Chains A and B, each alone.
Chain A
Amino acid sequence: MPALADLPTGHTFDPIKFTVDAAKSRAYRAATGDPLSLYDDTNAVPPLAVAAFALGALMKVIELPDGTLHGNEALQAHAAVPVGATLTCVPTITRNATRAGTVFITFEFVVSHNDAPAITARSTVLFPARAS
């Protein structure tokens, strides 16, 4: 498993496939305490859940140092994601920089459903350079 700080800006990961089934969606909504009936009414997954699952899938193929913090997050929904969808996530490192002893890594994700972007996101994480 590669250490994150060793991966250069511009590195694109192999596509990662994951499925958001009903149990995963329910568990996410229970964990966040989201009471909205919208997701039952529309059979859709919360867009932030999709981004969280994409980050979780990425963390299975890279090593984030313990204590890594989340600095910024941007997300754009392009289409509702139905429960049961199999999604393909392609993450790219768009920034890998060290400043004042802190490593800043920015990932951009394209999460697609049926070959069309459903969610695009940009996540910046940071950790002490010594932790990398």
Chain B
Amino acid sequence: MAEVAPVSRVLTQAMLHAYADASGDHNPIHIDEAFAATTPMGGTIAHGMLVLSFISEMMAGAFGERWLASGSLDVRFRAPARPGDTVTARATAQEPRDGRLRYAVEVVNQTDEVLISGTAEVLSEA
């Protein structure tokens, strides 16, 4: 099994604005601090797809073009990531199945709270 190196980022509100512009997701829970303060979240939270992108980056770093053409993810968003958080994507190898390498993947914050968890798979080398 290939080693999959973790990916870490420090989230900022500027990143959330940049991601909103790049993706077209301008949900105010991510970018409007006054609105977000009135919600149960109590403040802005990162787009789930932004935080998930760190898992995809980690897998692309390990598997390159194979990830682009055969990668898969199946995850649950368990807790919000907030500006100021340091988030880390990491992977643990599982038993391969049906010709695919399998990893348990997660994103945790600086207190090791699990924000995203699930599985990632990629085609085994021929």
Interface centre among A32, A53, A55 (most CB of B within 10 A): A32
Q: Which residues in A have some Cβ–Cβ distance to B below 8 Å?
A: 24, 27-28, 30-34, 36, 38, 42, 44, 46-49, 51-53, 55-57, 59-60, 64, 66-81
CA distance A24 to B57 in the complex (A): 17
Q: Is the CB of A70 within 8 A of B49?
A: yes
On whether A33 and B35 interact (CB within 8 A), knowing A67-B27, A77-B72, the answer reads no
CB-defined contacts of A49 to chain B, threshold 8 Å: 53
Where chain A touches its partner, the secondary structure class is mixed
CB-defined contacts of B57 to chain A, threshold 8 Å: 32, 34, 36, 46
**For chain B, which range describes its interface: under 10, 10 to 19, 20 to 34, or 35 or more residues?**
35 or more
What string of 1s and 0s marks CB contacts (under 8 Å) between B1-44 and chain A?
00000000100000100110111110111000001000100000
On whether A56 and B29 interact (CB within 8 A), knowing A46-B53, A73-B49, A73-B52, the answer reads no
Q: List 25 A-B contacts (CB under 8 A).
A: A24-B22, A27-B22, A31-B19, A32-B57, A36-B57, A38-B60, A38-B64, A44-B68, A46-B53, A46-B68, A47-B56, A53-B23, A55-B49, A57-B24, A59-B25, A67-B27, A70-B47, A71-B76, A72-B74, A72-B77, A73-B73, A75-B74, A77-B68, A78-B70, A80-B69
On whether A32 and B50 interact (CB within 8 A), knowing A24-B22, A53-B24, A59-B24, the answer reads yes
Q: Is the CB of A66 within 8 A of B27?
A: yes
Known: A32-B54, A34-B53, A69-B48. 12 other contacts (CB 8 A): A36-B57, A36-B60, A38-B61, A46-B57, A47-B56, A53-B23, A53-B24, A56-B24, A71-B76, A72-B75, A74-B74, A77-B72
